[in-house]
């Protein structure tokens, strides 16, 4: 389906986990806070869920096609 990714930079702890796991979706900005790349690669939902669950700051929200936040 392809969840949309939203990052709350106030919660990002700059661990780099998401950037290491999926550099086609996540990158660091100039302040070493995660952001999405401009034209992100489409990852399958299970992989995105795993990345979001592994974020130590719980900074990654996943939105479904209707814009609703996915619980994980
Ligand atoms: S995994 Fe979470 S805390 Fe780590 S860089 Fe990504 S958004 Fe930030």
Angle 36-41-46 (CA atoms, 0-180°, nearest 5)?
95
**pLDDT at residue 1, rounded to an integer:** 62
What phi and psi values does residue 3 have, to the nearest 5 degrees? -65, 150
Is the CB of residue 62 below 6 angstroms from any atom belonging to ligand 1? no
Is the CB of residue 59 below 6 angstroms from any atom belonging to ligand 1? yes
**pTM confidence score:** 0.95
CA 56 – ligand 1 centroid, Å = 7
**pLDDT at residue 2, rounded to an integer:** 83
CA 43 – ligand 1 centroid, Å = 17
Architecture category of domain 4-63 in CATH: 2-Layer Sandwich (3.30)
- Mean pLDDT of residues grouped by 10 in the chain (72 residues)? 92 98 98 97 95 98 96 92
CA 57 – ligand 1 centroid, Å = 6
């Amino acid at each position: 389906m392809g969840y949309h990714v939203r990052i709350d930079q106030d919660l990002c702890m700059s661990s780099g986990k998401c950037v290491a796991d999926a550099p086609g979706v996540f990158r660091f900005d100039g302040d070493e806070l995660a952001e999405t790349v401009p034209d992100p690669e489409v990852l399958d939902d299970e992989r995105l869920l795993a990345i979001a669950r592994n974020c130590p700051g719980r900074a990654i929200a996943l939105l479904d096609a209707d814009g609703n936040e996915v619980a994980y």
